[in-house]
Amino acid sequence: AELAEEDEALIARRQRLLGPAYRLMYANPVHLVRGEGVWLYDNKGDAYLDVYNNVASVGHCHPRVVEAMSRQAATLSTNTRYLHETILDYSEQLLGTFPEELQHVMFTCTGSETNDLAMRIARAFTGGTGFIVTETAYHGITHAVSELSPSLGRHVDLGVHVRTVPAPDLYRSNNGDVAGKFTADVAAAAEDLSRHGIKPAALIVDTIFSSDGVFPEPKGFLSGAVDAIRAAGGLFIADEVQPGFGRTGDTLWGFQRHGVVPDMVSLGKPMGNGYPVAGLVMKPDLIEDFGARARYFNTFGGNTVAVATAKAVLDVIFDEGLQSNAASVGKYLHDGLNAIAANSEMIGDVRSAGLFLGVEIVEDRTTRAPSADRAAKLVNGLRKKRVLISATGPNANVLKVRPPLVFTRDNADFFLERFEATVREPN
Ligand code: PMP
């Protein structure tokens, strides 16, 4: 009913041209034309506070990134089969942020391609084919990784070589022993694969468990599971597409919060601040055999514009202290949300690492029954107040608060004020 006529026409045109597989956000979709920092502007010139988009992680259209990207686009746009220094300068800088065991980086264009490559390498190295993922994991859209992505829904079959384990959910844990349970679940999944004649190749997890509902705590809970997959002959792949590049605040990479060293690390989304650049970081022995036998050429992966852009993004993260900003503003937001939760039965839990926050919406705090309905009302209510967030998790009841890393305390106050007002609105 609230839809403007011109938006209705645009929606119809989209459906006619793009077909039925695309989804818009919101009952009343936002028509964006411009972005700057933490703000997005619609076609009427109204500003929306972006508390959701982790891709534009150093802020929408950051001038330094735009400048590096356009300068390189105007100079040379070509691929990795010619000598060029920028890819090496960037790789050196990037690899310098990882534990020393992780020595190579290969470039792709998307997180999906990265995980697809990780699967191929894991299979080639271990001789196994089995993968273990969490119950509502998302690892991408290629045929292979869609089989590792139960969050795509029942219309996508999980591979016969795939086993799922419950996400490490502290809020719904019976005894608080998230680490012990997750370790035992991974060990049991590996055994089940073996029992069916499938050798485990890897455990792959998003180290912030975003699509499972955001599970950052307690730090260190991954380490037993990593030991368990290795004991079963498999590798550990950390999918850092969501938590990576400083978002979790106290460390640059999500896996570091757990004190583990992965065999491979998948990077994507925020890596180019919106330019499609992604990559896989790995231990060198994994690729020795594969690299000697198979050639890897990705037409656009690691192209000169991509790496110039990615380099500017990493420079901005360091020069503007965005990791420590994520830690401090993230804590401020967490405390602010907790204060609001204290007066609201519908907020069951607030959890976070840096500027990656999950706010679990429930029927009431005693039953903890998930409320997708209330979560959707909050998301749409905030949209009316020109604040953009979304919901995640198996029951779509966990609000995902994940703003660009340049988010300030003032931005946080703006968000918290509107969030509180929306929570207080009658149902
Ligand atoms: N892994 C995770 C954890 C993701 O969140 C995503 C994207 N939502 C992907 C992989 C796939 O990345 P892309 O969309 O760039 O292919």
Q: State yes or no: pLDDT of 350 exceeds 70.
A: yes
Structure confidence at residue 426 (pLDDT):
82
Which of 23-32, 53-62, 271-280, 302-311 shows the lowest mean pLDDT across its residues? 23-32
Averaged confidence pLDDT in the chain: 96
Over the stretch 22-51, which tens digit does the pLDDT of each residue have?
Answer: 999 998 899 999 999 999 999 999 999 999
31-58+321-424 topology per CATH: Aspartate Aminotransferase, domain 1 (3.90.1150)
Give pTM, 2 decimals: 0.97
Strands 235-239 and 200-206, bridge-based pairing: parallel
Structure confidence at residue 294 (pLDDT):
87
Q: Which of 269, 273, 356, 392 to mutate to test the pocket of ligand 1 (most atoms within 8 A of CB)?
A: 269
306 — pLDDT class (breaks 50, 70, 90)? very high
Q: State yes or no: pLDDT of 1 exceeds 60.
A: no
Q: State yes or no: pLDDT of 356 exceeds 80.
A: yes
Q: Average pLDDT for residues 344-366, to the nearest whole number?
A: 97
Break the chain into its structural domains and give their ranges: 31-58+321-424, 63-319
Q: State yes or no: pLDDT of 339 exceeds 80.
A: yes
Distance (angstroms) between ligand 1 centre and the Cα of 180 equals: 28
Place of tokens 């509902």: 213
Q: Please state, in angstroms and rounded to a whole number, the distance separating the CA atoms of residues 332 and 409.
A: 7
Q: Tell me, what's the ipTM?
A: 0.99
Structure confidence at residue 154 (pLDDT):
72
Q: DSSP secondary-structure letter at 294? A: S
235 — pLDDT class (breaks 50, 70, 90)? very high
Q: Which of 107, 139, 277 to mutate to test the pocket of ligand 1 (most atoms within 8 A of CB)?
A: 139
Q: Where does 300-397 have alpha helices with state H?
A: 304-319, 322-341, 372-384
The residue count of the chain comes to 427
| Angle made by CA atoms 337, 341, 343, in degrees to the nearest 5 | 135
Q: Please state, in angstroms and rounded to a whole number, the distance separating the CA atoms of residues 277 and 267.
A: 9
Over the stretch 156-170, which tens digit does the pLDDT of each residue have?
Answer: 778 889 999 999 999
Centre a 10 Å sphere on the Cβ of residue 83 and count the other Cβ atoms it contains. 7
184 — pLDDT class (breaks 50, 70, 90)? very high
Which residues approach ligand 1 with their CB closer than 6 A? Answer: 110-112, 115, 138-141, 206, 210, 239, 241-242, 268
Question: If one looks up domain 63-319 in CATH, what number appears?
Answer: 3.40.640.10
